[in-house]
Structure 1
Amino acid sequence: MRSIVLTDSQFEIAFQVTYQATNFDELRLRKLGITPDDLEWLIVALRSAHDEVDRAAKVRIEFQDPSPEGERDVASAATMPHESDPADVVRIGLPAVWASRWPLLTELVMSSLSHRELFLRTGYQWHEMESAVQRLEGAS
């Protein structure tokens, strides 16, 4: 199982950049192996963890192999507590395929929109987004 650790602000930035992909047409997403339903699922899974992340200093995202029932079932593992984690760490489970898909998705967004456009859409500076997105690449 692969995992990455983000600060709460890096998680929020990665979420905001990811959310911008909802404005892209289906063909661009499919070239990355992502359907609109896949993207919607990822957004919902990340958003479902948002309240827990607000109370944490760090977020551990674990990319897990799918259960026999299918990869989307791993979403039920979002914000799963683990006794070995400090109290200020939230653990989020995502299907293993997102370890490679998520960085590609954020790269598409960041390469397709200008620095100014991304700032206007997310409220974050380019260097902040670049730093957070680079952390996602460590999982693939």
Structure 2
Amino acid sequence: MLPKGSSPRTLDLFEYTLTVPSPPSDPASASARPLELAGLSDAQLAQHFGQLLEEVQRRLQEGRGKRPELETAARQASLSLKRLVPAPAKQGRSIRAGRTASLQEGQRKAVRAALLAGVAPAQVAKHFGLSLATVRKVLEEPA
């Protein structure tokens, strides 16, 4: 009879034993997730992305207390998306057109003073970020 606590068979240190792999834990399955996403088509990926954004938005708006994990993830996603999506090309004419319509009185006076001091209209336009036509209109306006 064997003494208590001893195993029926003592293993040799150099003996080969067959081991059965254990099922993957949660972190391992999380690392397998990107492989699943890589196999999706662009349309499927866009659909999942939309669903994910809707769910995050819904959870943040529910207001069940603070959600620091979701808020941090949303901020990081926002920054990543800003880097991914190219900014629209700036159109100088449309920006300047908006500026000319809303010239403030102080700007008008500064432009007029520079012109009366003898500064060339082209230099005034460049300095103030205005079109040459706008500078000329300011000059033509009654004081």
Normalization by structure 2: what TM-score?
0.24
Give the helix-richer structure, 1 or 2.
2
Give the strand-richer structure, 1 or 2.
1
Normalization by structure 1: what TM-score?
0.25
**Which has the higher Rg, Structure 1 or Structure 2?**
2
Q: Which has the higher contact order (CA 8 A, sep 6+)?
A: 1
